[in-house]
Structure 1
Amino acid sequence: MDYSELKELWRKEEKNAFEGWDFSYLKNRWKDEGLPWDYKEILKKYLNSDHKLLDMGTGGGEFLLSLNHPYNNTSVTEMWEPNVKLCKKKLEPLGIEVKQAFNDSKLPFKDNVFDMIINRHGSFDIKEVKRILKPNGIFITQQVGGKNNEKLSNALIKNFKPLFSQNTLENNLKEIEKNFFEILYAKEFFPYLRFKDIGALVYFAKIIKWEFPNFSVDSCFEELCKLYEELNVKGYIESIEHRFIIVCRKRK
């Protein structure tokens, strides 16, 4: 296959639709090292069925539904309009409260509402989390750190500058403790992510716009070809991810 044929193939990947936060399209086309902790198991350790639960930045609600928490005790926020519509269609009929959140510093809830707030890969303002969480309430967040995919971003995007370099475990712990939370558990990890074909990488880079700004097959074609040659030698393209998790309790 010559490079003009590859370009057309990659352009098709670039145009593929994406909904919710579901990467099942890439099944068997990438491999993630995984994390030394299990986010869901950690949540279940603290979550009771009578708890008022908020899932911040729920995406399409896929993960939330896997928790099987009573729907009448469940609320979600989401910022991105297509996902808000999806949640209203999928979650509201079940009895789950769906709220669009435009600003992390002004969430559409009263004070001291929730027993537990969870946040998986979403932004948050710890002062606002504190406001809507009950005394002794639990906040659990798994974050994508500021060094996520940095090596791959530099390989694809000319003059790449990371947007969230300050998003580290250390910096978050300082801010959380400053706001009168007790840290119950915290861990940071840098797993590998390997793409088995360049089309999978194209699909991924087009979605993750903040890590691959202004990415397109046409503008990054030279870089994609270099990675294609690397893939033919190694059998994969490796990226290094950045993850950390924090479990904390609001003091009275």
Structure 2
Amino acid sequence: MERESDVDALIAEGAAAPVDGWAFDWLAGRAAEERPPWGYARRVATRMAAARAALDVDTGGGEVLAELPQSPPLLVATEGWPPNVTVAARTLRPVGGRVVAVTPGAPLPFRDAAFDLVVSRHPVRTDWAETARVLRPGGTFLSQQIGPGTVRELSEAILGPLPPPADRHPERAVADAEAAGLRVVDLREATLRTVFHDVAAVVWFLRKVVWTVPGFTVERHRPALVRLHDRIRAEGPFVAHARRFLVEAIRPAD
């Protein structure tokens, strides 16, 4: 009975905590992930300081732009998840940013060659043709993206064995960028240790990072969550590995 009460309380805690925005502060002390070595936010800040007009695609809650020490004269962000639009608008107001609500998969609602810098952290999907269209000649696209099979160990702990990942491969991103007329000038990859200390952190993470277990619900996946809780209690923290890659491309000036 004590075990059942313990796992019930943890699952309920992870299911009740808010997941708006794209910050992971709620996981402090419950889960941790290594940071990529390239310092994405620092790179964005450097490029934003030199930009005249910049766009952040899939801004989440605006967390990256909120840390900018210097904003360009024109700073715009897009977001496709309605709860995040309100969060991002509030977050970006102090740095002079404006948030535009968009429909996922639709063309970007901006004129051709509107921006000399486009950035995106963990986009749901990169529309390379649209990215190239809104970039000015000589403009830069900088993005940190989710790599193939990220936290696959966690996905398989809930769903069982999975086939090899079919998408999110860096090589495909390079090919798609070049097909859209961009030139890739930097590509880096990293595998990052990700540690979950309790099943509440797992539940919260799966609610927020929805592609890890598509269609995740506590009710549907409760048996797997209980098994994972027992495994953590018996063996210690559950370890998975996140995969990230950094891609930088330019629209040729000619």
TM-score, normalised to structure 1's length? 0.90
Change (3 A) 1:151 1:117: same
Map of 1:39 onto structure 2: 40
Residues 120 and 144, structure 2, Cα contact 8 Å, conserved in 1: yes
Residues 111 and 131, structure 1, Cα contact 8 Å, conserved in 2: yes
* CA distance in 2 between partners of 1:180 and 1:234 (Å): 50
- Per-residue Cα deviation, 1:44-81 (whole angstroms, up to 9, x for no partner): 44343442111111111121110233264211111111
Residues 49 and 69, structure 1, Cα contact 8 Å, conserved in 2: no
Aligned length: 251
Map of 2:49 onto structure 1: 48
Map of 2:132 onto structure 1: 130
1:68-79 equivalences under 5 Å are 68-70=69-71, 72-79=73-80
Change (3 A) 1:216 1:36: same
For residue 208 of structure 1, report the CA deviation from its aligned partner: 2.1
Are positions 1:106 and 2:78 aligned together?
no
SS of 1:63's equivalent in the other structure is: helix
SS of 1:25's equivalent in the other structure is: helix
1:200-211 equivalences under 5 Å are 200-211=201-212
Q: Which ranges of structure 2 fall in alignment gaps of 5 or more residues?
A: none
Change (3 A) 1:208 1:48: closer
For residue 175 of structure 1, report the CA deviation from its aligned partner: 1.1
Map of 1:66 onto structure 2: 67
- Per-residue Cα deviation, 1:201-229 (whole angstroms, up to 9, x for no partner): 11111222222123333332322232223
User: In percent, how many aligned pairs have the same letter?
Assistant: 27
Change (3 A) 1:90 1:47: closer
- Per-residue Cα deviation, 1:78-119 (whole angstroms, up to 9, x for no partner): 111111122334435764222112144511111111110001
Map of 2:179 onto structure 1: 178
Change (3 A) 1:94 1:176: closer
SS of 2:49's equivalent in the other structure is: coil
Are positions 1:250 and 2:235 aligned together?
no
For residue 149 of structure 1, report the CA deviation from its aligned partner: 1.6
For residue 28 of structure 1, report the CA deviation from its aligned partner: 1.5
Q: Which amino acid aligns with 1:60?
A: G
1:122-201 equivalences under 5 Å are 122=123, 123-157=125-159, 165-201=166-202
Change (3 A) 1:135 1:104: farther
For structure 1, which segment, 198-207 or 85-94, has the greater mean C-alpha deviation from structure 2 after superposition? 85-94
Q: Which amino acid aligns with 1:201?
A: V
* CA distance in 2 between partners of 1:91 and 1:115 (Å): 20
Map of 1:239 onto structure 2: 240
SS of 1:136's equivalent in the other structure is: strand
Kindly report the root-mean-square deviation, in angstroms, between the aligned alpha carbons of the 2 structures.
2.2
Change (3 A) 1:137 1:32: same
SS of 1:67's equivalent in the other structure is: coil
TM-score, normalised to structure 2's length? 0.89
Change (3 A) 1:199 1:76: same
Q: Which amino acid aligns with 1:63?
A: V
Change (3 A) 1:184 1:155: same
* CA distance in 2 between partners of 1:46 and 1:34 (Å): 20
Q: Which amino acid aligns with 1:199?
A: A
For residue 191 of structure 1, report the CA deviation from its aligned partner: 1.2
